[in-house]
Chain A
Amino acid sequence: MSTSTEERSDTRTRHLGDTESLGTWAILRRGLTLSPELGRGFSITLALALVATLGQVLVPIAVQQTTDKGILAAGGPDVGLVLRLVIVVGLAVLLTSVASYAVNLRLFRSSESGLATLRIKGFRQIHDLSMLTQNAERRGSLVSRVTSDVDQISKFVQSSGLTLIISSAQILIATALMLFYSPELTGVVWVCFVPLFLLLRKFQARIGRAYLAVRERVGDMLGAVSESVVGATTIRAYGVEDRTAERIDVAVEAHRRAAITAQVRTVSAFVSGQVVAGVTTIAALGVGTILAAHGRLTIGELVAFLFLVNLFTQPVQTATENLNELQNAVAGWRRVIGLIDTPADVPDPGEGGVDLPPGPVRVQLQDVGFAYPGGAAVLHDIDLDITPGSRVAIVGETGSGKTTIGKLLTRLMDPLTGSVLLSGVDVRRIRFSSLRSRVVLVPQEGFLFDASLLENVRFARPGVSEDEVLLAFATLGLGDWLDGLPGGLATAVGQRGESLSAGERQLVALVRAYLTEPDLLLLDEATSAVDPATEVRIQRALERLAAGRTSIAIAHRLSTAEAADEVVVVDRGRIVQRGAHEELVADKGSVYARMHASWSAQSS
């Protein structure tokens, strides 16, 4: 990322934070504040977990006692003593099992509750981010922050986290007991293991890199696979099935290789641990026999020691895997926290704000300048004053900045310089609850949900009655079209509206806008795929709706401009002309006159 002074002055968020600067502890602390349920009662869970761990060392103790005091007892094997011992230990095992049950349940409860909270917070935050920040990210990567990243954390908290705690406790308790039986042998065990502890870090870094590569390859592969589905029409029309298949093969193969590399690294780390564990057992048995021969150790103690070595090596062997999970969880946490801690740069003033004054909206842009983050300026010194209740058309070439103006007016973005006023109030001070219900933008691509037509329309106004919806269709002159659909309002539109034609999807978006009855309606090429007769009909209906309200239409079909009270011509980020259609056409050689000439050449 470049850090020229010009860009540094642009403080708007470009990408979501990765909270790269925060260390693991800081992330865990922040994570706990965001999901307080995780911390609640944790000390009790921890205490129970320690009790559960004690269950693990009961067996070696029982073996030692049985061997030394039972079987090898001075007066021959003492069955009674062993029986008593077995019963006591058995009861203790029962107790630790109950503790273990409680630990599991408590962990699932607190982690699932805490993570549900985190998911919902993250999801809400995605919608609260400004449009620019949303667009700077791949959609899939936003989704993963509230899905797989959180799953990663939950997986860790529920299994590996507990395992890590129990393992650490197990290592400590095993070490303590080993020290009790034989400090010398304990030294031997630790000497064998120290190199592994040192290597572990290195292994873990290598494994971490390998899994990072796998994640990247997964992204590429999913992208390639999705082309075969989303591009189905184009692929068939051009007969490029084989080429597409090759592209997929390359991505699939890259993923396979990366995954196998990661697997091999994981296995080599695990097996190294296993070999070290084996060597430790050999050393312990060898040295232990020498010690026992010199009377420094009983056979029972030596055998118990071997059990303890097993208890000690097991967690160390699985540590690579659990530490890996820890790393993944922290990375996931980092991403979710990065999302949640990204400041919403187009914030809702909320309680501190004001409502948009009632009545038709007056729109003012004062000295507005805008640049997309990291890009050149696209709007320069825009000054505009739209009379309340008028119909305005904004025209201009593709890329001249029309959509950008529309997004500033509806406060999907804030201007870099200057200000936008609605009915005399700076938009930044208007509460979203008021702004969004009274100022509506209909973009070119109106998104449809995988539901019925009715539910899609209701999205604009939850709870609106079916009759009202039918009336809206009729008023917009879409009654015939609706009747032609197999299921009427109950027709399923498919994912993203796949089962409707492109123009029909725009019709649905227009009905939505109609139902919200906004005081300021902004159509951004909202009828580009609709036939002219329907377009004109809808336009007329919207005008009737907008009578006494302000409406702004962005269009490259100049018919819209001819019908407007006022036309605003944008060229390369500046307003170059404004006035009534007739006036502008009369200005020979002007941008508008030129556009109009080529439009009329086409339409008459």
Chain B
Amino acid sequence: MPAPVAPSTARAFGPALRIIGVGFRREPRPLAVAVLGSFVYGVMTVFTARVIGHLVGTIVTPAVRVHQITSAQIWTIVWELGIVVLLNAIGVVCRRVGAGMAYYNLIAHYRRQVTRQYLRLPLAWHHRHPSGQLLSNANADVEATWSIFQPLPLALGVVVMLVVGVVEMLRIDVWLALIGVLVFPTLFAVNAVFRSKMSPRATRAQQLRGEVSEVAHESIEAALVVKAMGREEQETERFAERTNELRGAAIEVGRVMGIFEPVIDAIPTFGTLAVLAVGTARVQAGDLSAADVVQVAYLFALLAFPVRSFGWVLAGLPVTLVGWTRIDNVLSAQGSMAYGDRALPADGSGALSMRAVDFSYEGGGTSDLSSKDSASVGGAQVLHGVDLDLAGGSLTAVVGPTGSGKSTLTNVALRLVDPDSGEVLVDDVRLADVRRHGIPAAATLVSQETFLFDDTVRGNVTLGGPYDDADVDRALRIAQARDFVDALTDGLDTRVGERGATLSGGQRQRIALARAVIRSPHLLVLDDATSAVDPTVEVAILDGLRAEAQRRGSRSTTLVVAYRLSTISLADTVVYVERGRVVDTGTHAELMDRCAPYARIVSAYADDAQDRADAKAAAGQDVQPVDAR
């Protein structure tokens, strides 16, 4: 994926200013405190030099001349300088705490916004964006955007500092001020050149740092496969390649920094020397006192360092822009699902029908957050004109080869994704007309890939719904999860870890089943939801589901994606799909009769066993008689 190229500082200036404006509107109070604090700091920094100059002129020099000093004079020194020091410190506290609060408030706010948007945007949008990129958007991009607010208030204070400083110099002497007027803009210009040279190199290093981390992430997640196939060397080479590129890029950054840092350091020093030379001449001409010269020299020393903050702001602008572009593309992403205002009937039976449903995953695989969403590039069509009719209270099995679109079909059935064309109805209500959260209230999916939250067992089953422990207990029992949950150290209150890491695959699946069962949905969709469960356990689960339906006396509709004959034979109807098309619908017996590919899949094990038995028998007759039963 082509990484976004950071725009040059000059090009970034205008747009970045607008982003800064957004930040100011969002966090006006802390930023006002920070900027005011910074102004105080700027003025007080200049005043430090002024007060020292003033004290040297009015107290020190006379005192030295008369070889005598009064305690009143000492007090003047203490309180005049003391006030300046105190105000300066208050300014710094306001500036840094204000800027820090604004920054952290902003990133917290935008993190919430971005994740809200992730939760709001439809699944189709998620399919288009790699999850790694979405995570780094909520993390690194948000930080990058607002990190400009760390040096910005300082830089604004420095503007004030420079203005006051130059006024101060003018007040003392035009010629010395002229040196300042030459030195500080030069410093600024050198800084700008520095940043423009630096920005592309820094961006490149940053980008490589991201790539190194991506390779490490992927490779370490693949650790088991890498080990099992003995690919450690190959992976290390892949990592080393990126790492060495990063090293090269970082050294380039160092080279530019190595040149500019001493130059930026030296400029104010030369300014000070010039002040000394010119100042001496002016004293000789009788226009200035020694104290004046010292004061201006001191001013140069004080101003030299803060002026660098301009450099930090300039460097930050392109970073801000790139980060914001990505955030903004998430925040302004369209294509949210439109909801109607209808509810699914409370006493419905979960009858499901699909009319001429087409569905495609959008092409190009995934798209980059740095560019605006170009919806629908027209990818591979996965479902073609699917028609389905599940009578209320019926059990329907969907059977089809791997990759034929079964999981996709289950997602369409619950409107997790919208079909390209055609419509889906539950209890005769078009799903597109149902209000937000109306579908989960009546229909539930247990997906093929189990997802558990980093929460307790109870939290994972109830998901915050109004269920008591008796409900949870019953659901766990039906899902055959009671026994192992009881055996966990804290029972229902055991935390399952990141994505349920502390549980085995079969255990995770059973928790996910309990989560569906507890909701007593009208329409229950199981997508190969027991693949990691032993056959014995699976039978018990299916029996439990049936008993539960009878107990409630309700008619609920079930759609299962399954291969096992035990499941299929329970089904009233079987739907056979292949390459995204419904090839045949009927009872198991009917399909066995007339749909050869279906028969091949369903009886694959039996046929295989038969073939082998035959082969064995044939071979066995030559060697030894087998006990044929």
Complex alpha-carbon distance, A558 and B535, angstroms: 9
How close is A273's CB to chain B, nearest CB, in angstroms? 10
Contact residues, B214-257 vs A (CB, 8 A): 216-232, 234-236, 239-240, 243-244, 246-247, 250-251, 253-255, 257
Complex alpha-carbon distance, A225 and B136, angstroms: 10
Of A12-20, A127-135, A353-361, A379-387, the one contacting chain B is A127-135
Partner of B67, one of A128, A293, A598: A293
How close is A413's CB to chain B, nearest CB, in angstroms? 11
Is residue A154 within 8 Å, beta carbon to beta carbon, of the partner chain?
yes
Partner of A289, one of B73, B212, B283, B400: B73
The size bracket of the interface on B is 35 or more
Contact residues, B481-539 vs A (CB, 8 A): 498-499, 504-507, 515, 519, 528, 531-539
What sequence of 0s and 1s flags, for each residue 494-518 of chain A, a beta carbon within 8 Å of any chain B beta carbon? 1110111111101101001000100
Q: Report A-chain residues with C-beta under 8 Å of the C-beta of B243.
A: 116, 119-120, 123
How close is A92's CB to chain B, nearest CB, in angstroms? 10
Of A2-10, A77-85, A172-180, the one contacting chain B is A77-85
The size bracket of the interface on A is 35 or more
State whether A124 and B236 are in contact (beta carbons under 8 Å apart), knowing that A119-B243, A281-B81 are contacts in the complex: yes
State whether A227 and B453 are in contact (beta carbons under 8 Å apart), knowing that A108-B253, A264-B97 are contacts in the complex: yes
Complex alpha-carbon distance, A433 and B61, angstroms: 84
Is residue B454 within 8 Å, beta carbon to beta carbon, of the partner chain?
yes
Complex alpha-carbon distance, A562 and B281, angstroms: 106
Is residue B132 within 8 Å, beta carbon to beta carbon, of the partner chain?
yes
Complex alpha-carbon distance, A500 and B440, angstroms: 26
Q: Report B-chain residues with C-beta under 8 Å of the C-beta of A62.
A: 272-273, 276
Is residue A366 within 8 Å, beta carbon to beta carbon, of the partner chain?
no
B258 touches A108 (CB 8 A): yes
Which of B78, B227, B272 has the most C-beta atoms of chain A within 10 angstroms of its own C-beta? B227
Is residue A536 within 8 Å, beta carbon to beta carbon, of the partner chain?
yes
What sequence of 0s and 1s flags, for each residue 61-93 of chain A, a beta carbon within 8 Å of any chain B beta carbon? 011001100111000111100110110011001
B81 touches A71 (CB 8 A): no
Q: Which residue of A lies closest to B134 (CB)?
A: A229
Q: Which residue of A lies closest to B130 (CB)?
A: A495
Q: Report B-chain residues with C-beta under 8 Å of the C-beta of A195.
A: none
Is residue A435 within 8 Å, beta carbon to beta carbon, of the partner chain?
yes
Complex alpha-carbon distance, A239 and B344, angstroms: 14
Complex alpha-carbon distance, A78 and B535, angstroms: 103
Q: B-side binding surface: helix, strand, loop or mixed?
A: helix
Partner of B223, one of A66, A102, A126, A299: A126
B605 touches A532 (CB 8 A): yes
State whether A82 and B506 are in contact (beta carbons under 8 Å apart), knowing that A97-B263, A108-B251, A275-B85 are contacts in the complex: no
A72 touches B228 (CB 8 A): no
Complex alpha-carbon distance, A259 and B51, angstroms: 37
Q: Which residue of A lies closest to B99 (CB)?
A: A263
State whether A502 and B448 are in contact (beta carbons under 8 Å apart), knowing that A93-B266, A299-B64 are contacts in the complex: yes
A603 touches B281 (CB 8 A): no
Q: Report B-chain residues with C-beta under 8 Å of the C-beta of A70.
A: 276, 280
State whether A59 and B301 are in contact (beta carbons under 8 Å apart), knowing that A263-B97, A486-B363 are contacts in the complex: yes
B218 touches A450 (CB 8 A): yes
Complex alpha-carbon distance, A127 and B228, angstroms: 11
A495 touches B131 (CB 8 A): yes
Complex alpha-carbon distance, A230 and B135, angstroms: 9
Complex alpha-carbon distance, A183 and B360, angstroms: 83
Q: Report B-chain residues with C-beta under 8 Å of the C-beta of A442.
A: 228
Q: Report B-chain residues with C-beta under 8 Å of the C-beta of A398.
A: 504-507, 532-534, 537
B218 touches A503 (CB 8 A): no
Complex alpha-carbon distance, A512 and B230, angstroms: 13
Partner of A225, one of B111, B234, B453: B111
State whether A256 and B104 are in contact (beta carbons under 8 Å apart), knowing that A234-B447, A532-B602 are contacts in the complex: yes
